[in-house]
Amino acid sequence: MPLVVYDAQLLAAATAFAGATYQSWPDVPPYTSNPEADCIGIVSSSPRHGTDFGLVLSRGLLTQVQAVLADDVGLAQRDIDEYIFALLTFARASGGSIVADPPLPATNPPHVEVPLELASRAGNMLVAAHPDLVKLGPRWGPQRTFVLRPRDFTEKVDAARRTR
25-47 mean pLDDT: 90
Q: What is the pLDDT of residues 10-25, one digit of tens each?
A: 999 998 764 555 567 8
Domain ranges of the chain: 3-162
Contacts of 145 (CB under 8 A, 6+ apart): 116, 119, 120, 124, 125, 126, 139
DSSP type of residue 24? B
The residue with greater pLDDT, 68 or 105, is: 68
Using a 10 angstrom Cβ sphere, with 0-12 exposed, 13-18 middle and 19 or more buried, the burial of residue 26 is: buried
Radius of gyration from C-alpha coordinates of the chain = 14
- Residue 83: CB atoms within 10 A of its CB come to 24
- Give the number of residues written for the chain: 164
Dist CA 62 CA 18 (whole Å): 21
Contacts of 151 (CB under 8 A, 6+ apart): 31, 35
- The CATH code of domain 3-162 reads 3.40.50
CA 159 to chain centre: 19
Q: What is the pLDDT of residues 124-141, one digit of tens each?
A: 799 999 999 999 888 887
Instruction: Look up the pTM and report it.
Output: 0.90
Q: What is the pLDDT of residues 145-158, one digit of tens each?
A: 899 999 999 999 99
